[in-house]
Amino acid sequence: MSPVLEARNITKRFGAVTALSDGSLTVEPGEIHALLGANGCGKSTLSKVIAGTVAPNSGVLRFNGSDIAPRSPRDAEALGIALFYQELSLVPQLSVADNIFLGHERRTAAGFIDAKQLRHDTEALLQRFAGVAGDGFSADAPVSTLAPDQRQIVEILKVLARKPRLIIFDESTAALDRRQVEVFFDILRSLKADGVSSIFISHRMDEIFAICDRITVMRNGVTVTTLTTAETDRDTVVHAMVGELAVPQRFARNSAVAAEPRLVVSQLSSRRLDSVSFDARPGEILGLGGLQGQGQSAVLRSLFGAEPLTDGSVVLDGKTLTLRKPADAIRAGLAYVSGDRGRDAAFHGRSIFENIAAASLVKERRRLVWPNQLKQRFIDAAAALNTKYDGLDAPIGSLSGGNQQKIFISRWLATNSQVLLFDDPTKGIDLAAKADFFTLARGLADQGASIIFYASEDSELLSLCDRILVFNSGAIAAELTGDTLTAFHLTNAAYGKAA
């Protein structure tokens, strides 16, 4: 039988970054095919190319034996390829029924929406999840009133209603509970029986082994191997994801980590966190790892008072903190450095002086400012990081990404913060600046700061951290120290605990 989908040697560059250098994937009719890899391996880019949301630079895409080049989700859908979106594809104001059939409404002869048929079709689809979907889940309910798992079910039904021949399920089980996943798997099996193929992406290895026929593993933008699930095991798959990577150079610690924890976090819970507890010591760099979006940023942002917590406690130097807004965190001595500088850090068009001053003004509750009193302090803070700049009056935009990030770190050095929260801070920074940043982080820790560091690149975590907490579905799946600080253990834990 000829394959339903054949992707060969797909490449995709975003500016100077190559996201995909040799993406290949073959899916047979009626097959459930897993696509696996660590962060940044190119699996999302490859799925987007297949679904038409991203145009490849080169490569061959064949569907049912003929060459295709979908240029939009609409094109792909017309061919019979549908992509399940993790979020953002539902309209909260519209009802469940309207969302499921949006753009595919059955019409009467006069061109009106056939409300009766719409309701009937929707109820037939909802029937599949009857009993496991929870309260308030009906055809007429506005999507804005639904719980996250119910929204995910609507997304799944919306994809099914389009009756595609190939479906890409990207993290479609993330919000579902066990019973709902079972129902979803039953649906996948009945699709399979009808000859519909699925590409399945999940951060739960157990699910992949439970439902998938074959597994394609990607690493650094290249398809590494395709394995038959029945003939392989978890270790083989994780080894394929990690590869024979050279052990990253580790930044040696020059001082001992104190024994007493400075920051004790217990049972943090929120929309995206599930009872997260850990502690951080002076002189330590604590890494947060795992696949992207598993709660690492949420922990840091919650600690900084930028995201609400539903439960949990944060104790710093023996004092319990109340963190309702970032100002609370700043005054308690916490600092937050984000990789998304444009959104979280920069005052565009303002001077370097003002950009450094922001945190000091909040922490010291200054209402009037005499710049000359602060200037020397800021110059010292920026000099400590080897920042290259023309003068404190130059606009922040005149600096490169790496130097901007140094300014935002200076902002916190000027407040003398002892707990630094780094949220993927090296995003979009060139290699030389990254190396500077690592030296700087290590130096700060050696002087006694506690650093909590999330990086989407595993190699950064492995080279810098004394300890790594691996996140999966908003909870800590594993804690890596000493001998277990390896790419293998990190990737293995990122895909959930071994069953």
The alpha carbon of 249 is separated from its chain's Cα centroid by a whole number of angstroms, namely: 25
Sheet-wide strand order for 263-269: 276-280, 263-269, 311-316, 319-320
Q: Are 36 and 217 in contact (CB under 8 A)?
A: yes
Backbone angles phi, psi at 268, to 5 degrees: -65, 125
Interior angle at CA 413, CA 408 and CA 417, nearest 5 = 110
3-state secondary structure 133-172: CCCCCCCCCEHHHCCHHHHHHHHHHHHHHCCCCEEEEECC
Quick check: 116 binds other proteins (CB under 8 A)? no
Q: Which is nearer to other proteins, 106 or 179 (CB)?
A: 106
Token couple for 128:
């599949």
Q: Which is nearer to other proteins, 65 or 103 (CB)?
A: 103
Quick check: 107 binds other proteins (CB under 8 A)? yes
Binding mask 176-205 for other proteins (x = CB under 8 A): ------------------------------
The correct pick among 30, 142, 312, 395 for binding other proteins (CB under 8 A) is 142
> Taking contact as CB under 8 A, which single stretch among the options 90-98, 186-194, 248-256, 466-474 is the one that binds other proteins?
90-98
Quick check: 137 binds other proteins (CB under 8 A)? no
Q: Which is nearer to other proteins, 125 or 429 (CB)?
A: 125
Q: Which of 301, 217, 282 is nearest to 38 (CA)?
A: 217
Quick check: 102 binds other proteins (CB under 8 A)? yes
Quick check: 111 binds other proteins (CB under 8 A)? yes
The correct pick among 1, 16, 65, 88 for binding other proteins (CB under 8 A) is 88
Sheet-wide strand order for 32-36: 66-67, 58-63, 5-14, 17-27, 222-228, 214-219, 32-36, 197-201, 166-170, 81-84
Quick check: 105 binds other proteins (CB under 8 A)? yes
Which residues lie closer than 8 Å to 124 by C-beta, 6 or more apart? none
Q: Are 79 and 70 in contact (CB under 8 A)?
A: yes
In angstroms, the CA 298 to CA 475 distance is 11
Q: Which of 313, 306, 352 is nearest to 329 (CA)?
A: 306
Quick check: 94 binds other proteins (CB under 8 A)? yes
Q: Are 119 and 95 in contact (CB under 8 A)?
A: no
Compute the least distance from the CB of residue 87 to other proteins, in Å. Answer: 9
Residue 15 identity = G
Quick check: 85 binds other proteins (CB under 8 A)? yes
Token couple for 50:
């297949």
Q: Which is nearer to other proteins, 120 or 366 (CB)?
A: 120
Compute the least distance from the CB of residue 114 to other proteins, in Å. Answer: 10
Q: Which is nearer to other proteins, 46 or 487 (CB)?
A: 46
Compute the least distance from the CB of residue 78 to other proteins, in Å. Answer: 9
Compute the least distance from the CB of residue 159 to other proteins, in Å. Answer: 11
Quick check: 226 binds other proteins (CB under 8 A)? no
Compute the least distance from the CB of residue 484 to other proteins, in Å. Answer: 40
Q: Which of 75, 108, 100 is nearest to 151 (CA)?
A: 100
Compute the least distance from the CB of residue 402 to other proteins, in Å. Answer: 31
Binding mask 40-69 for other proteins (x = CB under 8 A): -------------x----------------
Compute the least distance from the CB of residue 289 to other proteins, in Å. Answer: 29
Quick check: 93 binds other proteins (CB under 8 A)? yes
Q: Which of 469, 468, 477, 476 is nearest to 496 (CA)?
A: 477
Q: Which is nearer to other proteins, 117 or 226 (CB)?
A: 117
> Taking contact as CB under 8 A, which single stretch among the options 2-10, 42-50, 96-104, 256-264 is the one that binds other proteins?
96-104
Q: Rule CB under 8 A: which residues touch other proteins? A: 53, 72-74, 77, 85, 88-94, 98, 102-103, 105, 107, 111-113, 115, 142, 158
